[in-house]
Amino acid sequence: MILSVVKVVVFSVYAFLGLQSNEAKIVYTKGVVAPAVLLFGDSFVDQGNNNYVTNAGKANYPPYGKDFPGEISTGRWSNGKSLADGFANALGVKEYVPAYLDPSIQVKDLVTGVSFASGSTGYDPDTAKENKALSLETQLDMFKQYIKKLKMNIGEVVTNNVITNSVCLLLGGSNDIQIKFFGIPYKRRQNDVRVYAKTLVTFALSYVQELHKLGARRIAVFGAPPLGCFPEQRTVGGGPLRKCVDNLNAAFQWYNDILKRELQNLSSVFPESKFAYVDFYNPVLSVMENHRNYGFEVIDKGCCGTGLMEVSTLCNKLTPICDNRTKFFFWDGYHFTEKGCNIIVNHTIADLINGLF
């Protein structure tokens, strides 16, 4: 039986106190009740859907999953739990979020939420097409299938309650700007990055409204992170000293500013719904700038291999990994370690809850 969502939300004081020292346990937000967590977007919350996609980037082989129970390489882009697991845990829903395409998924898993996300995708349909990943349109189609499955198994009334009161998280934009704009010279000539940022926001808002049409009423959209400071981008565009790539970060800041403003406008159009902008940029940058406060010793390299470039197939069973993953913020050149994910969740969960409850 699905628990009804309480109308009065009692926030855990710990959610607002943040973390001290190098503590990296998930802060459970007591009193916040949601029946399920549903995730859409890219590799930050892909729980293994790309395992079932031809030619898309994958993470279903060692050393991915090195610290996951049983050392299973599930397809999560980390050494252990992901951001998706962290948010589900923080909201008190469940410990592990399964991939929707996992053939072993059961009804009890569906009821409390799944991830539809796909690594290498983006808001721009061309990004998914070029990377052979699941587009956001495809993820919306999967969501429709999900709703039908729920209705068949738990009935229409309970299903509607689940969808209406679930927390929907949407993470995207990173691949679009990094690959589609900065990675392709002709794009730079044809588009001003600010114009492209507006285009991406238009795509994002379209997906949000489609989720709303399907019954979702608590939707959080994450801004883009400071990708220019991630190991891979430092190596590609940071020069001999591997500094942060400022023009890439500036593009994400423009995108984030537009996204935040337009989400606020959307909230006025649908006052019965909750649309939250979650700052992904500043929390990640803050952790990097104050990394020693969290016990991190390395923030400019990933744990896998040299840490300079390795992502997906370059991070494989023959690639050496660091001995102590808790000292690294990044697992590979693009994604966080489990500890890194947990700390980011704790830094962003208050924004998410304030915006949705």
Any idea which residues carry the catalytic annotation?
A: 43, 332, 335
> What residues contact residue 200 under an 8 Å CB cut-off, 6+ apart?
122, 123, 124, 173, 176, 177, 255
Residue 185, preceding peptide bond in cis (omega within 30° of 0)? no
Alpha-helical regions (H) of the chain:
14-17, 83-90, 107-111, 125-131, 136-154, 156-165, 174-175, 185-190, 193-213, 231-237, 246-269, 281-289, 338-356
- Of 356, 193, 332, 223, which Cα lies nearest the Cα of 284? 223
327, 297 in Cβ contact below 8 A?
yes
- Of 35, 66, 294, 238, which Cα lies nearest the Cα of 154? 35
> What residues contact residue 183 under an 8 Å CB cut-off, 6+ apart?
none
Q: E strands within 30-95?
A: 37-41
Integer angstrom CA distances of residue 124 from 41, 316, 353: 11, 29, 28
Tokens of 270: 């649908």
User: What does the CA dihedral 356, 170, 296, 293 come to, rounded to 10 degrees?
Assistant: -20
* Sign of the Cα pseudo-torsion (191, 193, 198, 202, in order): positive
> Residue 93: helix, strand or coil by DSSP?
coil
